[in-house]
Amino acid sequence: MKKEVILLDHGSGGKLSNDLVSALMLPVFDNTILSRLGDSATLDVGGTRLAFSTDSYVVDPIFFPGGNIGDLAVNGTVNDIAMSGATPLYLSVGLIIEEGFSVSDLETIVQSMGRAARTAGVSIVTGDTKVVNRGAADKIFINTSGIGLIPEGIHIEGGNARPGDRIILSGTMGDHGITILNQREGLSFDAPVQSDSAPLNHMVARMLAASRNIHVLRDPTRGGVGTILNEVALQSNVGIRIVESGLPVNSSVAGLCELLGLDPLYVANEGKLIAVVASEDAERVLSVVREDPFGLDACIIGEVVSAHPGRVVLETIIGGERIIDMPTGEKLPRIC
């Protein structure tokens, strides 16, 4: 690492985040489970395969159209577990609360976490609460960890993409990130945007019932679709080609991104998934995703290729090509 202090960029999910993990953390913690660098760890315990994941939520503001920090925390960990093909079962919840925080707001957050857990079909079975001095935290931070059961015969990892596979995106890009930015900055745009925060485990279960040829599942949160596709290309040592005309973006989000100089490919989502699927099953899986209430705008956005391994290339609307690299800066800090 070349930087002497931690920057917001190190939490962006982009190049500096990857540098932080690979240069500082992996050499210390490295093992065969961690080195896969998936959304969750895959564990073999007594012949049973489990998925285990943890995440911390520091979003600002804590309330926003479409949700709040509480249901975001539950949905986020449920989705990370589901991205290994697992059925999420149990969550833990850790709360770090700033002195002076409103009890009424805390009740609202906890109630929303309970509703989100029931919707996802998981149980919150343990937790911890800490209160810190005023100014030592920003209102409330939440950590959620979870475990889930991986069905027999399911082996989904970021390094499994193969040339010829099709890439499915389950809906429009950037809804969550633009909603947070709109609320945080007090922008006066009247465009109707709201977070896409949602549990995706039921969608994944139906996808796996339709096909066992799903090679990769990822949810494009920090860093957006562009960053996740780069990670898959690097882990699988393949090229990825996507088509600009096929990228789904809500018109309000597209307009706000244009005004703010943001690329929707790099804006965070909290209720979308990317699936890399064998070509012969892609249309079947796409049909199943579109039947889910959180997948109505799903589409095939590109394919895996053998050319330019480790690179993502965008075919532009005018027929040119553009390299989609990992972002180098944190455009939207504290997005989740």
The domain limits of the chain are 31-149, 166-323
pTM equals 0.94
pLDDT at 104: 98
Higher pLDDT, 53 or 5: 53
Q: How confident is the model at residue 2 (pLDDT cuts 50, 70, 90)?
A: low
The topology (CATH level 3) of 166-323 is Phosphoribosyl-aminoimidazole Synthetase; Chain A, domain 2 (3.90.650)
pLDDT at 265: 97
The topology (CATH level 3) of 31-149 is 60s Ribosomal Protein L30; Chain: A; (3.30.1330)
Q: Average the pLDDT over 30-34 and give the result.
A: 91
Pick from 247-261, 292-306, 319-333 the range whose average pLDDT is largest. Answer: 292-306
Dist CA 29 CA 27 (whole Å): 6
Structure tokens at 94: 């850790």
Dist CA 289 CA 283 (whole Å): 10
Dist CA 7 CA 91 (whole Å): 30
pLDDT at 186: 75
Q: Do domains 31-149 and 166-323 have the same CATH topology?
A: no
List, in sequence order, the alpha helices (H) in 261-323. Answer: 282-291
pLDDT at 280: 98
Q: Average the pLDDT over 325-336 and give the result.
A: 82
pLDDT at 238: 98
Local structure of 121: helix, strand or coil: coil
Is the pLDDT score of 121 beyond 80?
Answer: yes
Kindly report, residue by residue over 259-306, the tens digit of the pLDDT: 889 999 999 999 999 999 999 999 999 999 999 999 999 999 999 999
Kindly report, residue by residue over 40-84, the tens digit of the pLDDT: 999 999 999 999 999 999 999 999 999 999 999 999 999 999 999
pLDDT at 97: 98
Q: How confident is the model at residue 1 (pLDDT cuts 50, 70, 90)?
A: low
